[in-house]
C-alpha cells in the first residue's frame, strides 16, 4: 500500500521529502557512520543539528534576540503546569476557555494559584471565539492564557485578546508555523510539535527572557524550571534528540517552501476549497462560526450519526485516513496541516461530492 491522505489531528502528516531524507540518513548521518538516534547529544555533530534547528526557527518566525527558544519534553500538557509554576509570581492568572485544551490548562493552573476563567465559549460547544476586546483582566494577573487554535473544535483567534498590558501566553500546538506571527505580542508561545512540525516527544517553548527567573513556585522540580533549560541550551539532560533533528528538517523544508507568508497563502487556499464546498453542500455542514474558522482543523457533520460513520468508513476505504471527529464531539474533522498537499484536499472534496450524490 502506498501513502494515504492522512487527515489526523496529531500526530499528523509530515512532508514526504523530510521522511525520505531521514530514511536516507538513517544508518549514516552525514558521514558520522551512525544514526542521529545513536549519537551523543554532547557531540559536535549533534550540537550543530540543534543549533541549526534553532537558527532556522528564529529566522522563520523572526524571533527577537530577547526571546529564548527551548526544545523540551513532556508534550504540550506538561506546559499546563510549567507555565503557572514559573510565571505565577502573584499567584494569579486569567484564562480564556475556548476548548478542551484551554480548559485543561486552566484546571491545572488552579492547582498552583488563583486561576480565573474570564471568558468561555463552552455555551455553544466551543464553536466560536469569544469577544476578547475588553475583558475583565485582573490587575495583578501574572499572565493571560489562550489556546490560539482549537484543534478539537476548529476555531482560531483572528485577533489576539486585549490583555491590557498583561503577558500573553499562547498554546499554538495546532497552528505552529502555519502563518506568520508577531512574536513580540507574546510572553510565551509554545506547542507540542506533533501537529505541524515533527514527531511527538518535543515541545517548543519560545519565551521572553525577563520571564525566565529563579523566582518560581516553591517545590517546582528542577526539570520544570525554564531557567535550567535556558541556561543549558535545552541540554540540561538528554533532549529528545531525534525528534529535534526531524523538526530541523521541517524548518528547512518550510524555508524552501518560501517561509511562513507562503505557508499562509498555501493554507488559506487549501482551507478555502474545503470551506467553500461545505458552505454550499446540502449534506455536509461546518460546525464553526465562519469568522473564527481554523485553517488547520476543519470539523463537519452530516447531521446523522449513521451517515457520519458511513462516511468515515467509506473514506478510509478510499485512502482518506483519520477523518473521524474527536471522541468528545463526534462527526468528522479534516486536519489539513502544512504538509497536507492541496491535492489531498481536492481529492477529499471530490470524494465528499460523490458521497453526497449517493446519499441524498
Ligand atoms: C494536541 C494538543 C495538546 C496536547 O498535546 P500533548 O503533546 O499530547 O500534551 C495541547 N494543546 C493543543 C492545542 C493541542 O492540539
What's the gap in Å between 280 CA and the centre of ligand 1?
32
The domain boundary, picked from 205, 235, 256, lies at 256
Q: Is residue 92 part of a domain?
A: yes
Q: Is residue 46 part of a domain?
A: yes
The number of helices, as runs of H, and strands, as runs of E, in the chain is: 9, 14
Q: Is residue 4 part of a domain?
A: no
Question: Is the shortest distance between the CB of 77 and ligand 1 below 6 Å?
Answer: yes
Q: Residue 345: phi, psi to the nearest 5?
A: -70, -40
DSSP state letters, 185-249: G-SEEEEETTTTTS-TT-EEEEEEGGG--S---TT--GGG-HHHHHHTTT-SS---HHHHHHHHH
Q: What is the CATH number of the domain that holds 120?
A: 3.40.640.10
Question: Is the shortest distance between the CB of 204 and ligand 1 below 6 Å?
Answer: no
pTM of the model: 0.98
Question: Is the shortest distance between the CB of 198 and ligand 1 below 6 Å?
Answer: no
Question: Is the shortest distance between the CB of 75 and ligand 1 below 6 Å?
Answer: yes
Burial of residue 307, with CB atoms counted within 10 A of its CB: 0-12 exposed, 13-18 middle, 19 or more buried: middle
The domain boundary, picked from 256, 280, 309, lies at 256
Asked about 101 being catalytic, the answer comes back as: yes
pLDDT, tens only, 221-243: 999 999 999 999 999 999 999 99
Out of 99, 192, 199, mutate this one to test ligand 1's pocket (max ligand atoms within 8 Å of CB): namely: 192
Parent domain of 71? 16-256
Question: Is the shortest distance between the CB of 8 and ligand 1 below 6 Å?
Answer: no
Residues 317 and 250 in one domain: no
Q: What is the pLDDT along the chain (360 residues), one digit of tens a residue?
A: 689 999 999 999 999 999 999 999 999 999 999 999 999 999 999 999 999 999 999 999 999 999 999 999 999 999 999 999 999 999 999 999 999 999 999 999 999 999 999 999 999 999 999 999 999 999 999 999 999 999 999 999 999 999 999 999 999 999 999 999 999 999 999 999 999 999 999 999 999 999 999 999 999 999 999 999 999 999 999 999 999 999 999 999 999 999 999 999 999 999 999 999 999 999 999 999 999 999 999 999 999 999 999 999 999 999 999 999 998 889 999 999 999 999 999 999 999 999 999 998
> Dihedral of the CA atoms 310, 316, 322, 327 (nearest 10)?
30
Out of 174, 190, 200, 327, mutate this one to test ligand 1's pocket (max ligand atoms within 8 Å of CB): namely: 174
Q: How many domains does the chain have?
A: 2
Asked about 253 being catalytic, the answer comes back as: no
What's the pLDDT score for residue 329? 83
What's the pLDDT score for residue 347? 98
Ligand 1 atom having least distance to the Cα of 75: 7
Amino acid at each position: 500500500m502506498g501513502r494515504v491522505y492522512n487527515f489526523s489531528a496529531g500526530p499528523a502528516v509530515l512532508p514526504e521529502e523530510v521522511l525520505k531524507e531521514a530514511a536516507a540518513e538513517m544508518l549514516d548521518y552525514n558521514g558520522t557512520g551512525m544514526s542521529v538516534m545513536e549519537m551523543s547529544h554532547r557531540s559536535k555533530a549533534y550540537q550543530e543539528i540543534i543549533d541549526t534547528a534553532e537558527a532556522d526557527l528564529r529566522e522563520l518566525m523572526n524571533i527577537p534576540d530577547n526571546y529564548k527558544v527551548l526544545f523540551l519534553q513532556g508534550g504540550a500538557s506538561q506546559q499546563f503546569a510549567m507555565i503557572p509554576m514559573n510565571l505565577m509570581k502573584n499567584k494569579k492568572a486569567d484564562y480564556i476557555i475556548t476548548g478542551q485544551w484551554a480548559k485543561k490548562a486552566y484546571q491545572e493552573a488552579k492547582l498552583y494559584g488563583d486561576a480565573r476563567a474570564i471568558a468561555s465559549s463552552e455555551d455553544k460547544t466551543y464553536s466560536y471565539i469569544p469577544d476578547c476586546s475588553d475583558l475583565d483582566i485582573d490587575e495583578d494577573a501574572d499572565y493571560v492564557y489562550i489556546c490560539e487554535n482549537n484543534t478539537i473544535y476548529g476555531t482560531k483567534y483572528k485577533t489576539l485578546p486585549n490583555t491590557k498590558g498583561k503577558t500573553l501566553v499562547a498554546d499554538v500546538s495546532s497552528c505552529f508555523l502555519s502563518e506568520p506571527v508577531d512574536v513580540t505580542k507574546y510572553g510565551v508561545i509554545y506547542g507540542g510539535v506533533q501537529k505541524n512540525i515533527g514527531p511527538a516527544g518535543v515541545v517548543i517553548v519560545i519565551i521572553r527572557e525577563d520571564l525566565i527567573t529563579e523566582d518560581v513556585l516553591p517545590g517546582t522540580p528542577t526539570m520544570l524550571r525554564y531557567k535550567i533549560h535556558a541556561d543549558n541550551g535545552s541540554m540540561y539532560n538528554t533532549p529528545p534528540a531525534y525528534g529535534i533533528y526531524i523538526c530541523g528538517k521541517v524548518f528547512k523544508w518550510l524555508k524552501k517552501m518560501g517561509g511562513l507568508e507562503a505557508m499562509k497563502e498555501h493554507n488559506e487556499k487549501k482551507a478555502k476549497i474545503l470551506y467553500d464546498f461545505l458552505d454550499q453542500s446540502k449534506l455536509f455542514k461546518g460546525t464553526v462560526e465562519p469568522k473564527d474558522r481554523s485553517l488547520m482543523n476543519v470539523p463537519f457533520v452530516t447531521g446523522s450519526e449513521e451517515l457520519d460513520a458511513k462516511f468515515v468508513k467509506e473514506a478510509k476505504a478510499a485512502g482518506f485516513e483519520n477523518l473521524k471527529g474527536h471522541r468528545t464531539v463526534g462527526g468528522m474533522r479534516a486536519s489539513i496541516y502544512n504538509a497536507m498537499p492541496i491535492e489531498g484536499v481536492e481529492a477529499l472534496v471530490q470524494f465528499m461530492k460523490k458521497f453526497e450524490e449517493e446519499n441524498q
